[in-house]
Structure formats: structure tokens, C-alpha cells
Amino acid sequence: MFSQFALHERLLKAVAELNFVEPTPVQAAAIPLALQGRDLRVTAQTGSGKTAAFVLPMLNRLVDLGGPRVEIRALILLPTRELAQQTLKEVQRFSQFTYIKSGLVTGGEDFKEQAAMLRKVPDVLIGTPGRLMEQLNAGNLDLSHVEVMILDEADRMLDMGFAEDMERLCKECVNREQTLLFSATTGGAGLRDMIAKVLKDPEHLMLNSVSQLSEGTRQQIITADHDQHKEAIVQWLLANETYQKAIIFTNTRALADRVYGHLVARDVKAFVLHGEKDQKDRKLAIERFKQGGSKVLVATDVAARGLDIEGLDLVINFDMPRSGDEYVHRIGRTGRAGSEGLAISLICHNDWNLMSSVERYLKQQFERRVIKEVKGTYSGPKKVKASGKAAGVKKKKVEKKGDKKAVAKRKPTAKPKANAPLASADGMAPLKRRKPVAE
Ligand code: AMP
């Protein structure tokens, strides 16, 4: 029961109004500690109820002091516009019986209108790092009165190349008393570094080890010969699986557009969501997808980040995500709150090794599925190593002493390149260094 928490009655009233009865595990673990003023590092995925876990204690701090104040007293930093909008709604719903005002600062919205909103000084500011920095640099933002700062989906912000902005914004909140950092995964060295810099003696709450992450979701792979073959499989799945809503993930914008075009050409009603779409189109696509205007959404990772969509029970990875964390983020959208979900990854020969890295990361093997109506010729590598990766067939030539040709052919020892693969801190196979580009 939420009444077990020492929350202000106005907040409990809002909780009751929203029909929240039982706190989720992350709420039960985080709310009491956050109410004590502790810094927290919480590992919890989207869909776990993490937003209320930080919004309620944050609002409690603001509502308790009372009296008119014209200062930004809480800052919520998160990676994408969509997540920011969703979080604003959640803050507004929980603060509906209080005088707390909240505002949003994200890219894709009018800069001057935002500056005007900032002049009115909301109590709670929610924003993405890039635009917050622009407003800060334009002299429109004073964060020196922020008491509580929340970094939501911190791992994701780091993946997007926001480390410097995040640090700078933390520094701007010079008088903050509490910092709460949430991430969907345990993250790598970048996250550990950020934690060391911005949190004070934090309590670490691990609400989802990756291996428990997708209990309600069956995870399958289907091998495919090439992209056209994948398109045929997608079409088959959308026509034959039972689902309320499906999301198809691609690694690139171009591929998202291509898959979307293919579906539309075959009369499948779908929406597409990626970073090149303008903000209005993105909002519209999300709203219409949520309301059931279409059952299918094609999206890149960043564009769909943090979206909380009810009834999403089918996730198709058109291509394999570039890291285990990304996979966890994608799959975390289905099988929520005990419901059933199905996650299917389409695997060409160039997806195989990534797929087996993800299997090792999650310590589980995905179900191999064959659909005879759309069966291709590729069914995985001929030989696999103990790691599950494809075994190479090339043999090393034994170089004889004095073999001048071989010596001339031999390349000089290469220095590691700037974009050389990185070893994952989670024991996963080397991961590709990612460009800080918002999809
Ligand atoms: P989040 O992980 O914060 O994105 O939350 C996922 C969804 O669960 C949101 O739609 C919340 O409104 C909902 N939710 C969060 N906590 C509870 C709760 N204790 N009872 C019912 N619904 C909840």
C-alpha cells in the first residue's frame, strides 16, 4: 500500500486517483530511502514503475516546504524528448493536488517559448541535456537552487554522447542536496565514472539483473538470408502472430524508412519513428500508435527510447541491436507487469556474432524458430566456437624463415584505432564504440 510511505496527503490523494494500489518493487525499495534524502543509484528498466519511484519523493520534498518560491528546485535530466514528455505528464498527474509547477526543455520545441516559460520559473524542470545546455549558455537557466537532481536513463544519455553536458549540468546544480541516478542496465565504465563524480555515498538498488529482465517474454531468433528476406518474414509475422501492438526496431533511420515503406506498400498500416522526423510527426505517430490508430510501429532505438506503450506484446528486431544493453532496452518494452510478450530477432550472417554475444550477456539461449512458409537457406554458421560465435575458416599461413614475399606482405603492427571495439564492462564481447548521434 502506498500509505506505508511517509508521503504528503496531497500526493497520496493523487496516487489513489491514479488507481495505484500496490507499489512496484522499485517503488517499494527506492521511495523510503529517497524520502530520507539519500543519494541513490537504481538499476531498473522502463516499465518497472521507476518514474513514480523518483517523482513521488521529489514532489514530497517540494510540497513539504510550502510557501511561494520562484526557483527551480528539482531537475530531471533524461535522454529523449518523448521520455521527457511522458515524465512531465507523470509529474503533473502526481502534483495535481499541489501548487507545484513543472516545465519542459527539450529540442524540437520553440527556443523562445521555452525561454519565456523559464522566466516564469517552474518548480520542477524536465529536460534533455542538449537543449538545457543551450538555454544555460543563453543565460536563461539558473540551476543554483536545485535541491534534488534526477538522472533518468543515465546509461542511455552516456550512450548518446551526453557525458560532458551531464557533468556540466550537475555542476550547475551546485547546491543540490540529493541526486538520484536511474539506469536500465548496470552500464559500463562511463556510468561508473559518472556515478563516482555525481553521487555521494549512494545506495545501489538492483531491481533487475539482466537475466531476470524478460521473464514474461519469449525470446526467439529466426535466421534470414538478407534484408528482403527479413521483410518477407516481418510481413508473415505481422499477418500470423497474435498481438495487440508490435514494434519493429532497426539500427538505422534509412532501414526504418525502408521497412516502413515495404509495409505500407503491402497495405500494412504502420507508423515510423526516427530522429529525422520532425517533432510534430513524432508526437503524432506516438499518440496514434498509443491510441491504436495502427498496430505497428517501426522505430530506431533512440526515437523509441523510454516509450511506455500499453499492450505492446510483439517486438521484432529487424537487425540485431549493436549492444547487449540496447537489446535489453528494446525487449524491456514487452512482457511488462506479468503480461506475456514475444521478442523475435531476425538474424543474417552478419547479425550472428552480435546475437551470440547478447545470449552470453543474458546467460540464456534464444529459442530457434523456423517458419516453413518463409524459410531461407541461411541457418547459422557451419561451425561455432565455444562462445557461440561463428568459427572462422581462414587458416594462418605458417611463415617460413627468410620468406621475403611473406615478410613484405605482412602489415606493420597496427596501433589501436580511435574507433576500435571496446571491451564491455559486463563481460560481453567487444562492443562497437558508438557515435554520439541521436537517431
Ligand atoms: P515507468 O516504469 O515509470 O515507465 O512506469 C510504467 C507504467 O506503469 C506507467 O504507465 C505507470 O503509470 C504505471 N505504474 C507505475 N507504478 C504503478 C503502480 N504502483 N501501480 C499501477 N501502475 C503503475
Contacts of 138 (CB under 8 A, 6+ apart): 111, 115
Q: What is the homologous superfamily of the domain 2-208 according to CATH? A: P-loop containing nucleotide triphosphate hydrolases (3.40.50.300)
Q: How far is the CA of 306 from the centre of ligand 1 (A)?
A: 13
Distance of alpha carbon 164 from alpha carbon 158, whole angstroms: 9
pLDDT value at residue 215: 63
pLDDT value at residue 339: 63
Distance of alpha carbon 439 from alpha carbon 431, whole angstroms: 19
Atom 5 in ligand 1: residue holding the nearest Cα: 49
On the question of pLDDT at 153 being above 90, the answer is yes
Dump pLDDT digits (tens) for 77-98. 999 999 999 999 999 999 999 9
pLDDT tier for residue 239 given thresholds of 50, 70 and 90: very high
| Coil, helix or strand at residue 70 | coil
166 close to 136: Cβ distance less than 8 angstroms: no
Going from the C-alpha of 182 to that of each of 40, 46, 153, 331, 371, the distances in angstroms are 8, 10, 5, 18, 39
For ligand 1, mutation pick of 42, 46, 51 (most atoms within 8 Å of CB):
51
Q: What is the homologous superfamily of the domain 213-374 according to CATH? A: P-loop containing nucleotide triphosphate hydrolases (3.40.50.300)
Dump pLDDT digits (tens) for 315-333. 999 999 988 878 887 887 7
pLDDT tier for residue 207 given thresholds of 50, 70 and 90: confident
pLDDT value at residue 416: 38
Going from the C-alpha of 315 to that of each of 92, 153, 342, the distances in angstroms are 30, 20, 6
Distance of alpha carbon 64 from alpha carbon 58, whole angstroms: 10
Site residues for ligand 1, CB cut-off 6 Å: 20, 22-24, 27, 46-52, 308
Dump pLDDT digits (tens) for 108-142. 899 999 999 999 999 999 999 999 999 999 999 99
Dump pLDDT digits (tens) for 271-304. 998 877 777 888 888 888 888 888 999 999 866 6
- Locate all alpha helices (DSSP H) within 279-388, ordered by sequence: 279-290, 301-304, 324-331, 352-362
Q: Indicate which atom in ligand 1 lies nearest the CA of residue 306.
A: 4
Q: Cell 529517497 belongs to which residue? A: 34
pTM: 0.62
Q: Quick one: how far is CA 308 from the chain centroid? A: 11
Q: Which residue has the higher pLDDT, 30 or 363?
A: 30
Dump pLDDT digits (tens) for 45-73. 777 899 999 999 999 999 965 566 789 99
Q: Cell 527510447 belongs to which residue? A: 305
Domain ranges of the chain: 2-208, 213-374
For ligand 1, mutation pick of 90, 93, 308, 329 (most atoms within 8 Å of CB):
308
